[in-house]
Structure 1
Amino acid sequence: MEKIRVIIIDEQPLFREGIRAILESTGECTIVGTSTDIVEVLELVRTSSPDVALIDAGLTSSDPLDIARQVRHTAPRIAIVILTPNEDEERLFQSIKVGAAAYYTRNITPNELAEAVRKVSRGEYLINDDVLSKPQLASRVLKSFRELTVEEEDEGAKDLYSPLSSREVEILDYIARGNSNKEIAKSLKISDQTVKNHITSILKKLSVNDRTAAVVHALRHGWIKMHDS
């Protein structure tokens, strides 16, 4: 089985080596590089083709969100996991905007970290399900969707053809309203796993890496409409 290729962007040697030991002990991961220098990081991304990048949100030598943004620009399919020193809604919002697939505090357990890396490497989007159910945060995410849509409104006519099934469009519409997976499952009377399966299918069809990008893509093409929070 091909191993999950991981890059670690963390300036604390003890924590960095701890992550390496945890992931390598699973037998499923290989660490292809570690750095906090943006030039070195981007070179590693280009030459080593990592599947997952673990980024410490508490970096002092570089802007971690800027690193995440540039990494995603260089390799759109890479999964970004943000590890934060503490709960911070502003940092969480910015992590959503740069397309992070997961966001955890640094007190995550070894088993949770290993499982998160496995899941994001398969294209799953693990930004906590309850994030978009927080009213203020949901409002900010929706406003961000609207601004991104307006910016590109003049690029051309809306594409009325959608590669998505009617159920997939329906699920994207629920996501745009700020619903979590659990809320979508309850509203549509389907299981949480079925919702996750649909989202995985959506990401593959649209060739995007996360739900934020999928919703923005659907809004730009006129497949779903913007809702007020």
Structure 2
Amino acid sequence: MSANPAVKLLIVDDHPLFRQGVRAALSICRDIVVVGEASSGEDALEWMNAAPPNLEPNAVVVDLNLPGMNGLELTRQLRLNYPGVGIVVLSVYESDEQAFNALRAGASAYRSKDVHPDELADVLRRVARGEYVINDVVLDDPKVAGRVLSQFRNLPQDVTSLQEMEFPLFTPLSDREIEVLERIAAGGSNREIAEALHISTQTVKNHISSILRKLSLNDRTQAVLYALRRGWIEAPGAIRSEPPSSDVEDDEDE
């Protein structure tokens, strides 16, 4: 074990092969050490209670669909009894509703089980430092994170999807997609957006298609209005201009 690893990890999953896979995937990270494994929520709590000081984890990976005590209940118990531990909930597939429930239960992050090992390692480092990673938005100021999460967990119980929330931090869009939407809001054509962001116009088109698919909308105007209402993008006047790149691919606008 590293003398002072940044992350001491407990893996909680009922499938031995998956636990072994996570351990193997993270073995190349010298600052992450797997200090224990558990196959159920009950076993995880027992492990935490009995862990010697040098093996106390500061991060826990929790399978959402555990037998017996499920992942959400385990997350609640861990947050209640070990408030300093960062909890990453993993699920078989990504779901707004599951992410919503996991974060309300006290998780610091939520990811699907097909997450890339490098991304999982980065998330673990962040939650071990007390940060929250919500749809790729990192809340690294403890006061801000505490306030946001407090407001989030106090939302009405009948709100069951991140998409239903008028809450600007919870966006399904990537940083690049947000940039594209901002440029669209400012009246930019595909070519102008491509030049400003140093990408090809085909890439811009791909981003727009992804945005519309994620938001279940039909055109870019609807997407801009949707994002403006939720505070995901700034008003067009606030968009900064950037010099065009000379090596942008010469695709045609739509």
Provide TM-score, normalisation by structure 2.
0.52
Q: 1:54 aligns with which of 47, 61, 64?
A: 61
Change (3 A) 1:90 1:30: same
Query: Displacement, 1:10?
Result: 0.8
Q: 1:107 aligns with which of 114, 119, 133?
A: 114
Alignment of 1:171-210 (within 5 A): 178-180=167-169
Structure 1 gaps of 5+ residues are: 131-140, 149-175, 190-229
- What letter matches 2:13 in structure 1? D
Q: 1:128 aligns with which of 135, 138, 156?
A: 135
Change (3 A) 1:178 1:38: same
Q: Partner residue of 1:6?
A: 9
Higher-Rg member (1/2):
2
Change (3 A) 1:143 1:125: closer
Query: Displacement, 1:89?
Result: 2.3
Q: Partner residue of 1:87?
A: 94
1:113, 1:35 → 2: CA distance?
Answer: 19
SS of the equivalent of 2:133 reads coil
Higher helix share: 1
2:93, 2:8 → 1: CA distance?
Answer: 26
Q: 1:145 aligns with which of 127, 132, 154?
A: 154
Following superposition, which runs of at least 4 residues in structure 1 exceed 3 angstroms of deviation? 141-144, 181-187
SS of the equivalent of 1:45 reads helix
SS of the equivalent of 1:120 reads helix
Query: Displacement, 1:116?
Result: 1.1
- What letter matches 1:58 in structure 2? N
* Preserved CA contact (<8 Å) 2:12 2:41: no
Q: RMSD across aligned C-alpha pairs, in angstroms?
A: 2.9
2:77, 2:42 → 1: CA distance?
Answer: 10
Query: Displacement, 1:129?
Result: 4.5
User: Which is bigger in relative contact order (C-alpha 8 A, separation at least 6)?
Assistant: 1
Query: Displacement, 1:177?
Result: 6.2
Structure 2 gaps of 5+ residues are: 138-149, 158-164, 176-230, 239-254
Query: Displacement, 1:68?
Result: 0.8
Provide TM-score, normalisation by structure 1.
0.57
Q: Partner residue of 2:181?
A: none
Deviation digits for residues 169-198 of structure 1 (CA, Å, limit 9, x no counterpart): xxxxxxx961228758958x8xxxxxxxxx
Deviation digits for residues 121-165 of structure 1 (CA, Å, limit 9, x no counterpart): 1122112157xxxxxxxxxx96852569xxxxxxxxxxxxxxxxx
